[in-house]
Copies of this chain bind each other. A is one copy, B any other.
């Protein structure tokens, strides 16, 4: 069993770097604070006797050697960058749970056949630099190192320059680092476990997601003198599409998701009929066929709305991640460890993307969820119970040992 108090203490120590007045953390990727966080974690790994490898996109691999160093390592990891108004647990928990596993193995004097590694991936959040899950994405070849290097923040600073500046541009070619199996522990970021009063979520898969930008163009005009019949009101037409996004998701339960999160209205003045409305659409499902059906139904509705309204409507897909089923071996290892330890459990399909979906392209992978308060994350009030974090870490320990062999 791992040491829950030590895990909690490390989480609180790391959370001091970039701590916000409201109890959250702001530690954006490749900032000075990210460097401080990285240095702290790397220092702890060295104290635990681990060796460090860094690749060219700044992913860090911290290794506890196995009896057979030629075996690919059993890896766990996550990220330590945060949202601008982020919490203490998102990502950080996955990394420090891995470190706690190693500390426990050390305490108990347990040697493993395969090496055990703890990774943290660069810029998972995507808040400062897009795309999200950058480090793991480059690692698995989803996009190139050059693409990632060229990404700039709002001040025009590039990933390449910032990586070099904070001293985390390593030598390893991304993807050259072998992985035997990959586990990631994470707070659920949703309300399902809490709602069902379960401690451990076994994650069979991550939903696929499609992101769109929709732009409805009407005609800006004065709200008073323009009769209702002569209007081309971009906001009104948009509301019908926005409602359909939710209706489509509800037609494909239980994993259909449909969200309009971002809306921009032009000129956004109370006595001007909106001439243009730009909004985002986020569709998700765990089954690619269903996700595609949702996609087709949305395009059909937009075609119908375009001809009914006479307004110009453009729709562009800006991101797509296919659903990612995890490997039966890893899901099984998590399930068995949970059963052995006697925690209450249920399967929870991950609605959010994680570094694990990219790792899964290269090696068997699986995830372990623990509840977070009110299902809230990406928020300074993000919270989780020490008991739950300890339980997730114990499951991680036993799942990794099952794979790494004692």
Q: Which residues from chain A sit less than 8 Å from chain B, CB to CB?
A: 188-192, 195, 207, 209, 211, 220-228, 230, 233, 235-236, 239-240, 242-243, 246, 249-250, 253-254, 256-265, 268-274, 280, 282, 284, 350-353, 375-379
Contacts and interface: CB of A to CB of B under 8 A. Distances in A.
A36 to B, nearest CB: 26
A391 to B, nearest CB: 19
Contacts of A227: 190-192, 254, 257
B225 A189 contact: yes
Nearest to A238: B239
Given A261-B274, A265-B263, A188 B253 contact: no
B262 A222 contact: no
A209 B233 contact: no
Given A191-B221, A236-B242, A377-B222, A268 B259 contact: no
Among A225, A280, A350, residue most surrounded by chain B Cβ atoms (within 10 Å): A225
A268 B211 CA distance: 15
Given A189-B222, A261-B272, A269-B378, 6 more contacts: A191-B221, A223-B261, A223-B284, A226-B257, A262-B270, A270-B282
A268 B273 contact: no
A86 to B, nearest CB: 12
Nearest to A83: B269
Nearest to A209: B224
B271 A263 contact: no
Contacts of A270: 211, 259, 261-262, 280, 282
A314 to B, nearest CB: 16
One complex includes copies of this chain to the number of: 2
A188 B242 contact: no
A252 to B, nearest CB: 10
A268 to B, nearest CB: 5
B239 A243 contact: yes
Contacts of A351: 222-226
A268 B191 CA distance: 21
A389 B221 CA distance: 21
A256 B227 CA distance: 8
Given A228-B256, A254-B227, A260-B235, A221 B376 contact: yes
Contacts of A352: 222, 224-225, 271
Among A190, A209, A228, A249, residue most surrounded by chain B Cβ atoms (within 10 Å): A228
Contacts of A257: 223-224, 226-228
A246 B265 CA distance: 17
Contacts of A224: 189-190, 207, 209, 257, 282, 284, 350-353
A227 B261 CA distance: 15
A332 to B, nearest CB: 23
Contacts of A259: 223, 233, 270-273
Contacts of A239: 239, 242-243
Contacts of A211: 270-271
Given A189-B222, A224-B350, A226-B190, A261 B273 contact: yes
B233 A246 contact: yes
Contact of A261 (B242, B243, B264, B271): B271
Nearest to A273: B259
23 contacts: A189-B222, A190-B226, A192-B227, A220-B379, A221-B375, A221-B376, A222-B378, A223-B259, A225-B351, A225-B352, A225-B375, A226-B351, A228-B256, A235-B261, A236-B246, A239-B239, A261-B273, A262-B269, A263-B265, A263-B274, A264-B268, A270-B280, A272-B378
